[in-house]
Amino acid sequence: MPSRRDLIKMDEEELHAFLAGHKVVTCASMGPSGRPHLMPLWYVPDANELRAWTFAKSQKTKNLERDPRATLQVEDGVEYQKLRGVMMECDVEIETDTEKVADFGMAIFDRYTEGALGDEVREMVLGQAAKRVGLTFRPTRTVSWDHRKLGGTY
């Protein structure tokens, strides 16, 4: 008999659809005090990786420069029988080249404007790229759950 864990796990197609259907990921990095530092990020799914950008002087950037590992979580639902989510333990690559960072920003704003990236937004992204870094999250472990698969039983 399969374990409950196996019953609620998302397959690869479900996982990709779930990540494509959501827009905010919670990123946990290790803060200077040794406690987790949690922050939301907009992201772009890219196969099994997620890409984001953030300010170069942000606490999360400083944390990831010191320890390039993060845990990400995207979740959905309120009632137990409808909870869904994914948790990814990741190695993180930080991109500092301004042109490449601008590409991260363009991809993010293209996704969040649903392809209607106007000149004003392009100029804003290009203007901010010098103050930002790109983040590529490469999962080393992924755990997913979709309690809807239990059909209301526990």
Please provide the average confidence, as pLDDT, over all residues in the chain: 92
Lowest mean pLDDT among 4-8, 38-42, 95-99, 110-114: 4-8
Whether the Cβ atoms of residue 73 and residue 90 lie closer than 8 Å to each other? no
pLDDT at 113: 84
- pLDDT higher than threshold 80 for residue 91: yes
pLDDT at 74: 97
State both tokens at 47: 């196969």
| pLDDT tier at 85, thresholds 50, 70, 90 | very high
| pLDDT tier at 81, thresholds 50, 70, 90 | confident
**Residues with Cβ < 8 Å from 130, sequence gap 6 or more?**
98, 101
- pLDDT higher than threshold 70 for residue 1: no
Amino acid in the structure at residue 97: D
Distance CA(32)–CA(62), nearest Å, equals 9
- On the 0-12 / 13-18 / 19+ scale of CB atoms within 10 A, 49 is middle
pLDDT at 48: 85
Which of 152, 13, 149, 143 has its CA nearest to residue 75?
A: 143
**% the chain with pLDDT above 70:** 97
Which of 136, 137, 17, 23 has its CA nearest to residue 72?
A: 137
Identify the CATH class of 4-148.
Answer: mainly beta
Distance CA(73)–CA(51), nearest Å, equals 14
pLDDT at 7: 83
Distance CA(63)–CA(66), nearest Å, equals 5
Lowest mean pLDDT among 65-74, 90-99, 111-120: 111-120
Alpha-helical (H) ranges within the chain are 4-8, 12-20, 59-66, 98-112, 119-128
Q: What is the mean pLDDT of residues 24-46?
A: 96
pLDDT at 29: 98
The 10s digit of each residue's pLDDT in 106-139 is 999 899 887 777 788 888 889 999 999 999 999 9
State both tokens at 43: 């992201």
Domain-wise residue ranges, the chain? 4-148
